[in-house]
Homo-oligomer: A and B are copies of this chain.
Amino acid sequence: MSMLYDEGHEAIANESRRVLDARMDKGRLLRLLESVGEYDQAFWNTAVEQGWSALAISEEHDGLGLGLVELGLVAQAAGAGTAGAPFLTSTYGVAHAIENSGDMSAKNGWLPRLAAGEVLASVAFTEGSSPLPTQPSVRFADGKLAGSKDSVTGGLKADIALVWASIEGAPALVLADLAAAKRVPVESFDNSRLLADIDFSGVEATLLATGDAAQELALDVLARMAVVTAHEQVGGAEALLITARDYALTRKAFGQPIGAFQSVKHRIAEMYGLVEIARANCIHAAASAGQPDFLVAAADARLSATEAYDTAARDCVQVHGGIGVTWEQGLHLHMRRARTLAMEQGNMLFWEDLLVEQITGVAA
């Protein structure tokens, strides 16, 4: 489905950009890279204060009753400042799963607290290289989980996790209380993502869906989170495009601004093309949520936004030359975030295969 942003959307976009411009601090983000177990608390406080945690939760559960389009705009602003780590996307994914499960007590118990930002949630689907393994090794029985998931985003501080598990061989979506989970921090190139290897053995959990229903809901959650991430990637890519453009206008070499050299000029023009194509796919995907072609639209957005952010990270640094690879200048914040977002919600091969299966019916 195609749509144009209305004044309400523009307001959300401008306000979130304004607030984050005012509150984000490169120095703080650089420090976070070097400490394992810390995340950008200041961003999350802002997200809660601004109601971003409640944005896509239904009004009956104390949310704002908005959707993927609006959350996407916030994610885009967050992506521009390499903010958002790591709960903006995962909280939405978990809330969406709970809203769409039949479990009233889970809804009433968790949604208001997720909306209020009192509870931090993460999503534990991936095992190894599979974002959604057909036979999850984590097992659920008698209200308890067994097994573990590695490098779970947000896992170090999350209170609850939406876990992709198996119940007597069938897939299951369960909601786990992480209070009793054993977690080992993972040192990564983007430490504020709070990655953790989580051992769920003996952890209590609630069953949200099983079998085909679980499969369908899990795929919907993954695709929706991929669309939020794609908006984040577009925000990051656009920020890099502007940074590269501005640098090319001011930096001089051989007696003229480097932007006058076609190698620089065309590189930046190509970046623009990737950003606009990805942006158009993101808007279309966000507006298509819940419709039959949503998975295809999500895959289009995911593929083009990842290509845009990765290319912009490579090329913006290249345009900057030496200064672009210094720690203080901080372009590597985008380089690192681009890599993180390319991996979270599944790598490109997974999405290429999913897209082709959707449009041809042929599995990989």
Contact = CB atoms under 8 A, between A and B. Distances in A.
Nearest to A261: B262
Interface in A229-285: 261-263, 266
Nearest to A263: B262
Taking the full assembly, how many copies of this chain does it contain? Answer: 2
Contacts of A266: 262-263
A174 B309 CA distance: 55
A254 to B, nearest CB: 12
Contacts of A263: 262-263, 266
A57 to B, nearest CB: 48
Nearest to A260: B262
A263 B263 CA distance: 6
Assign chain A's interface to a size class: under 10
Contacts of A262: 261-263, 266
A80 B266 CA distance: 31
Contacts of A261: 262
A261 B260 CA distance: 10
A255 to B, nearest CB: 15
A291 to B, nearest CB: 36
A4 to B, nearest CB: 35
A262 B264 CA distance: 9
A122 to B, nearest CB: 36
A90 to B, nearest CB: 37
A253 to B, nearest CB: 13
A68 to B, nearest CB: 38
A262 B262 CA distance: 5
A93 B261 CA distance: 49
A229 to B, nearest CB: 31
A321 to B, nearest CB: 16
A50 to B, nearest CB: 44
A262 B266 CA distance: 9
A261 B265 CA distance: 11
Interface in A198-230: none
A261 B263 CA distance: 9
Interface string A152-184: 000000000000000000000000000000000
A165 B262 CA distance: 55
Nearest to A266: B263
Nearest to A264: B262
A263 B266 CA distance: 8
A335 to B, nearest CB: 24
A230 to B, nearest CB: 30
A95 to B, nearest CB: 43
A105 B261 CA distance: 67
6 contacts: A261-B262, A262-B262, A262-B263, A262-B266, A263-B263, A263-B266
Can you list the 6 inter-chain pairs with the closest CB atoms, starting with the nearest? Answer: A262-B262, A262-B263, A261-B262, A263-B266, A263-B263, A262-B266
